[in-house]
Structure 1
Amino acid sequence: MSVAVPGGGSLAVRIAPKVPITRLFFLLGYSLKPLGWREGLVDVAEHRDVMPALAHAVERQTDRALRRGLLQGYRAVEETSFLVRGRIREAEQVRRRFGRPLPVETAYDEFTTDIAENRILHASVERLLRLPGVPGDVRRRLLHQRARLAEVTPIPRGRTPPVWHPTRLNAHYHHALRLAEVVLDGSSPEHRAGGLRIDGHLFNMNKLFEDFLTVALREAFHGSGRTCALQDGSVYLDEAREIRMKPDLVVYGPDGAAQAVVDAKYKAERPDGYPDADLYQMLAYCTALGLGEGHLVYAKGNAPHASHRVRHAGIVIHQHALDLDQEPAGLLAEVVRLAGHLGLGASG
């Protein structure tokens, strides 16, 4: 992260994650593609800092996505024209033209490369080219990718990127698009208050750990007949269904009844224990779902497991610690063991 101060000076601030860069990108890569995941899915080459590794990974995935040429699709267009193309927007014609026949307010679908998928890739490449810490060779390759996307309409800075939906037709874009979304995520600071300018990228480690854990647990339960709901928005605390809660993962049985609830916390245990607020949150989840047990999973802890029985309620809240420093195979095996601790007989 680079901080430019008034008077032309600058200061480089480096914030390093608690896990190695290769492990960081393993968490990201696995959450993008758990089935068929392999080492190097998100390639970081020899880079050992976050920004060079991220820029390299985005450029490589963008290159793979564009090898067949730019994806084309239909885009809804509304325009004013002297020729009728598509349908006439009658309400707009009356409101703007007061009964005059020309020009005509029209709407039509255009088959073009100027679609959401390409605009997102273009925006991520532009964003990386503006950031410090991108190596020269990676920057040159990013410039090449920008040239390939030159006909795409840029997304104005500060504007929310368009929405895309994964389909069979854009399957070869999926990895590149999800990495692009990491770059364009709001956690990337670009602050210009007063004479101070900040440019950089921050990974939201809470979200990254949550995505990895919930996807890995979902894979552990695959084939068990159960359904895993990630960020389940169907849970309410009150009977009037006015207070919505979103547990990270709820496991439902074949009958549709909740069987387990899990919440991920990317924080280390303090010497005096985990934060009490996490326990209160899990107690609320268990109460609303009618469960006798709940599970909090931390990125690291002083002990692999602790449990607390709530007075007058009989609910047991488990606290698990997941060691992210181990190799991918060992980490995934530990997640499978964790799934077994939920008491549901998860398949490996």
Structure 2
Amino acid sequence: MKPLIQCEEWAKLELNGSSSLRTYEDFKLVLESWKANVGKDTSGYFDIRSDFLRPKFWSGILDTPNFTLEVLPIGITSLSQAKRNRLDSSLSEMLSSSKSAHSMTSSATYLSSSASRHDAVLEVFCNDLKLARRRQVLRRYTTVTRTSSSPKGRILFPGQCYNSIQNPGRILSQWVEFTEDVPENRIFKAVLLKFRPRCTSSLRSRIDQLLSELISVNLIEPHLDWPLISLDRLPDTYLSLLSQSRILLDDEGVGVFSGDKRANSEIIFTSRLFEHYMAIEISSISREMGLMSKAQEYGNYVFDDVGIGKSFEMIPDLRIWDKSGKTYCVIDTKWKFLNHQKQDLDISTKDIYQTLVYGLRHNCSDVVLLYPDVTQLTGDTGYYERRTASLAGFRCNVHIAKVPILGENMGISRAYLRDLLTKIKD
């Protein structure tokens, strides 16, 4: 088994004697594997320096030829096990709400059993079932008794005498044939049918292919089939599939990061996921408040000179306005970890300038920097403070908000966002 290297998002993978990345060849393997497996530009997901790599805006498993890199979500190493489980559950719920558009299946790892994220484990199940059926199709001999226009097997007597009276021209025959309608296949079909509605479209098409192969298999209650299975005569691949089936049918879903169940992991594009989920929630809350909103609004530029054209487009993550068209607030989401030991909270100067320019452009005196709260202390309640900025005579309230991600459920984060939008104008 290849060595496992672990780090958090935004943590440095340093090149030194004590680091797990010992050579520039290790650096190269990480970046090459990212391009090969993910197909995205490395500059957007790594800070690359001569002496360190820093993964950012993603978590999950990246497999290289020599080792496996596991990037854990920001803040997780400082959390208790209970809070880790909540983070796992929240990420799973955010992915489900976003229709899995912000993740992709990656390499096998150990996943948590605290949440209910099924795409990754279903990917493994489909791969294993397809491979198992290539090697050996499970089927049994069965006796078939049926009437037909011509004899098949042996003609049954005295049943044929009565049949000839009731159905002239039809012959009652009995023969032996193979059937795939066996308990194991019925259980596999039950798994596929149960989870087909919950999966992404690409995985659903694979499930449909497998279901077409099992079209002759009937479906009964799985609990009736388990006692009929003889495990001592099954190959290991089918034993593994039955184990996976029991987990899935019992709704023991897997979470999205390290735990105790072996399955395919997912690379989660955490920044995009957080941005997208917040946009969905805030747009819904805005409508309830009689406001309108738009995510990723294009068409606004810093420069718009006659004869030169437009340049430096400004695209805030979310703009909210009232019925008169006046901008209520501008929101920029940041999947980053704030440091409360520092006076500036370790907020990027670039992020502050960018958000103030958004406010200035839309003549809005309220801008919001929205972060995830994944801290042990306030991760289940959230954090908020308001500061005032002055820029060339333009005064602006900067609302620094951390959305609770470690609550009992994501309803807590929704309540926090509703309260945030209300207090902006207080």
TM (norm. structure 2) is 0.43
Deviation at 1:26, TM superposition (A): 1.4
User: Which of 63, 70, 79 is the matching residue for 2:196?
Assistant: 63
Conserved? CA contact 1:2–1:200, under 8 Å: no
Structure 1: runs of 5+ lacking an equivalent: 34-45, 67-119, 126-141, 151-198
Deviation at 1:330, TM superposition (A): 1.6
Higher fraction of strand: 2
Deviations 1:277-326, CA, capped at 9 Å, x for gaps: 11011011011111122111111378522413225321222211112111
Deviation at 1:50, TM superposition (A): 9.4
Q: Given residue 309 of structure 1, which amino acid in structure 2 is its aligned partner?
A: A
Conserved? CA contact 1:235–1:246, under 8 Å: yes
Q: Does 1:13 align with 2:69?
A: yes
Whole-angstrom CA distance in 1 between matches of 2:363 and 2:212? 52
Conserved? CA contact 1:251–1:259, under 8 Å: yes
Deviations 1:80-121, CA, capped at 9 Å, x for gaps: xxxxxxxxxxxxxxxxxxxxxxxxxxxxxxxxxxxxxxxx83
Q: Indicate the structure whose relative CO is greater, using CA pairs within 8 Å and at least 6 residues apart.
A: 2
Deviations 1:131-168, CA, capped at 9 Å, x for gaps: xxxxxxxxxxx964443589xxxxxxxxxxxxxxxxxx
Aligned to 1:243: 312
Q: Does 1:330 align with 2:393?
A: no
Deviation at 1:216, TM superposition (A): 0.9
Structure 2: runs of 5+ lacking an equivalent: 1-60, 77-83, 101-110, 127-191, 214-263
Q: Which has the larger radius of gyration?
A: 2
After superposition, the Cα gap between the structure-2 partners of 1:333 and 1:304, relative to the gap in structure 1 and judged at 3 Å, is same
Q: Relative to structure 2, which stretch is displaced further, 204-213 or 11-20?
A: 11-20
Aligned to 1:298: 371
Q: Given residue 16 of structure 1, which amino acid in structure 2 is its aligned partner?
A: L
Q: Does 1:213 align with 2:278?
A: yes
Aligned to 2:387: 307
Whole-angstrom CA distance in 1 between matches of 2:67 and 2:335? 28
Deviation at 1:251, TM superposition (A): 0.7
Aligned to 1:3: 63
Deviation at 1:248, TM superposition (A): 0.8
Identity across the alignment (%): 15
Deviation at 1:230, TM superposition (A): 0.9
Whole-angstrom CA distance in 2 between matches of 1:65 and 1:216? 21
Q: CA RMSD in A?
A: 3.6
After superposition, the Cα gap between the structure-2 partners of 1:13 and 1:341, relative to the gap in structure 1 and judged at 3 Å, is same
After superposition, the Cα gap between the structure-2 partners of 1:242 and 1:11, relative to the gap in structure 1 and judged at 3 Å, is closer
Q: Given residue 368 of structure 2, which amino acid in structure 1 is its aligned partner?
A: H
TM (norm. structure 1) is 0.51
Aligned to 1:257: 326
Q: Given residue 280 of structure 2, which amino acid in structure 1 is its aligned partner?
A: V
Aligned to 1:171: none
Q: Secondary structure at the match of 2:334?
A: strand
Whole-angstrom CA distance in 1 between matches of 2:99 and 2:265? 23
Q: Secondary structure at the match of 2:394?
A: coil
After superposition, the Cα gap between the structure-2 partners of 1:146 and 1:52, relative to the gap in structure 1 and judged at 3 Å, is farther
Conserved? CA contact 1:251–1:260, under 8 Å: yes
Whole-angstrom CA distance in 1 between matches of 2:312 and 2:209? 45
Aligned to 1:147: 210
Q: Does 1:25 align with 2:92?
A: yes
Conserved? CA contact 2:388–2:395, under 8 Å: no
Whole-angstrom CA distance in 2 between matches of 1:215 and 1:244? 23
Whole-angstrom CA distance in 2 between matches of 1:3 and 1:31? 25
Conserved? CA contact 1:238–1:288, under 8 Å: no
After superposition, the Cα gap between the structure-2 partners of 1:225 and 1:149, relative to the gap in structure 1 and judged at 3 Å, is farther
Whole-angstrom CA distance in 2 between matches of 1:227 and 1:307? 25
Q: Relative to structure 2, which stretch is displaced further, 20-29 or 298-307?
A: 298-307
Whole-angstrom CA distance in 2 between matches of 1:49 and 1:223? 33
Whole-angstrom CA distance in 1 between matches of 2:326 and 2:122? 41
Deviation at 1:243, TM superposition (A): 2.4
- Total equivalences in the alignment: 210
Q: Secondary structure at the match of 2:71?
A: coil
After superposition, the Cα gap between the structure-2 partners of 1:269 and 1:306, relative to the gap in structure 1 and judged at 3 Å, is farther
Conserved? CA contact 2:318–2:331, under 8 Å: yes
Deviation at 1:337, TM superposition (A): 0.8
